[in-house]
Structure 1
Amino acid sequence: MELILMGTACASSGRDRDNTYLLLRDTDGSTLIDIGGNPLGKLKTLGLTTHEIKRVVFTHVHIDHIYGLPSLLWGMWIDGREDPLEIYCDESEKEWLQNWLELMRLTKWPVAFEISVRAFQWEEPALLWQKDETALSVFPSRHGVAAVGIKVEHNGTVFVYSTDTTPNPLIRDMARIDLLVHESTTAERSLAMHSTLRDIAGYYDWGKIGRGILVHLTDDEPYDELLKELPVGISSKISLGRELERIPLTGGILNGKSEAPE
């Protein structure tokens, strides 16, 4: 299993970054966590097809996290997809999402695959799917709207994605996290319902975290300068996410082994 950072920018996007969304690749079918800009182009750059996407999990329905869905579905139709697609969202957004799918007039394309919308209750941790040694669950975020973070356990490796959030005690209280991908919209300046790099460095117990990657980044923020000021025991574990960075979800993540296109 590997994690790919499909985009790493904040809601206003960036000069060289798309809005933050992730691809969790697995031999049993891959999962898109949110869908930002140009999903079809990003998949082609990676040498992947739409056929391997089995499910989509929306952490919340702010526009920057969902607007790539029509493009993805269009690409799946062009590719002649027949396998079903699962889309997960909060129960309060299920009807809205189904109405959006109807407005896309998918039957007039006509789409030849089933799209099933599956709901969870964002206020409570929930297991979305599990197979063998892999499980994906959600837990409440602190974003002021119905929003969830993501936790993946794979063969003993624990990966956590914060989604948009203020520092989250549910993440802080986890016993161990091998890879934490956390939003950091700013370096130090306060922004409602979001985290700063200084927040992240001071709030979490980095003795329990193997590696941290910052996403939801804003252009021209002094992230690098602040990292140099932090204790080396923390700064050595934190890096800024790169577009299309690929991180194997194995013990290698503890050593910062990942790849991104040149």
Structure 2
Amino acid sequence: MNVHFLGYTGSIQHAGSANVSLVVEEGREVVLVDVSGAPVMEMLKAGIDPRDLKTVLITHSHIDHIYALPSLIHQLWLMGREEPLVIVGNRETIGKARELCSLFGLEQKNRMFPLVWEILENGVYGSLAGQLRLIVFPVPHGVPTVGCVFESAHGKVAYFADCTADVAYPEVAYDADLLIHEAGGLCEDSAILAGKGHSSSRQAAEAARMLRAGRLVLCHLPSEVSMYQLMLAEAQAVFKRTELPVLYKAYGCEKV
């Protein structure tokens, strides 16, 4: 199982990255988590054929996590896709996603491939092919939001895109080989971040330590790139195996 970052910033992009979005791949099973930037182009840069995409998971309805969905669907249609695309999210998120796509009349286009809308608030999504298993669970944020875990015979990845540090981590999130956790700023800004539904880099590292993660990669980073090394140092003081994200890199689940 490999994970590729297609973007890693929070609400405001910078010249080096679009908003947070990532791909999980296990063999021919390809899942896109959150939809920002130019997803078809970014998948190609990561060495992934967009036509192999099977499932899209949208963690919540905030614009920086959902806005590129119509573009993704439209481009796959232009590329001649015929097989269904499954779009998974909680009830509010799926409602917003369908509204967004309806603005462009996507499902009414001639020979549009089927869009399969799946509502999942908490639990296992049982329709992935092959060995890959997806589990979602609610996390505290400004709107209904899910965190997720991907499991296969090759490891476990846990992803917390947007959430405050007071999240009640489920048992399934423990002992992940790779934990990807949002970090909106430094510990000194924890109160401000919490008021916006976010965590600091130190809090992300504390989560990694508590969850017994193998590695931690910070994501949903602020637009001020000058803060990144300070955030990394703050996190590594708590959890040494912390990294900053690298676009398109294949993050595997090797043991450390």
Name the TM-score class by shorter chain: 0.7 to 0.9
Per the TM alignment, residue 241 of structure 1 is displaced from its structure 2 partner at its CA by 0.6
CA offset digits 1:111-165 (Å, max 9, x no partner): 43111111012xxx31113555421010111113110001011115111001101
> Is residue 125 of structure 2 the alignment partner of residue 128 of structure 1?
yes
> Is residue 157 of structure 2 the alignment partner of residue 159 of structure 1?
yes
Between stretches 239-248 and 218-227, larger displacement belongs to: 218-227
C-alpha distance in 2, partners of 1:116/1:231?
41
Instruction: Give the direction of change, closer, same or farther, for the CA distance of 1:101–1:197 in structure 2 (3 Å limit).
Output: same
Between stretches 193-202 and 177-186, larger displacement belongs to: 193-202
Q: Which residue of 2 aligns with 1:246?
A: 250
Instruction: Give the direction of change, closer, same or farther, for the CA distance of 1:102–1:14 in structure 2 (3 Å limit).
Output: same
C-alpha distance in 2, partners of 1:31/1:173?
19
> Is residue 194 of structure 2 the alignment partner of residue 197 of structure 1?
no
Preserved CA contact (<8 Å) 2:208 2:239: no
Number of aligned residue pairs: give it. Answer: 248
Per the TM alignment, residue 70 of structure 1 is displaced from its structure 2 partner at its CA by 1.4
Q: Which residue of 2 aligns with 1:104?
A: 104
Q: Which residue of 2 aligns with 1:224?
A: 229
Residue type of the alignment partner of 1:53: L
Aligned CA-pair RMSD: 2.3
Q: TM-score normalised to the size of structure 2?
A: 0.87
Q: How does 1:1-262 map to 2 (within 5 A)?
A: 1-107=1-107, 109-121=109-121, 125-129=122-126, 130-131=128-129, 133-155=131-153, 157-167=155-165, 168-170=167-169, 174-188=173-187, 189-190=189-190, 191=193, 192=195, 193-205=197-209, 208-218=212-222, 219-228=224-233, 234-235=239-240, 237-248=241-252, 250-251=253-254, 254-255=255-256
Structure 1 stretches of 5 or more lacking a match?
256-262
C-alpha distance in 2, partners of 1:152/1:128?
10
Instruction: Give the direction of change, closer, same or farther, for the CA distance of 1:183–1:233 in structure 2 (3 Å limit).
Output: closer
Preserved CA contact (<8 Å) 1:134 1:152: yes
For 1:87, what is the secondary structure of its paired residue?
A: strand
C-alpha distance in 1, partners of 2:171/2:186?
19
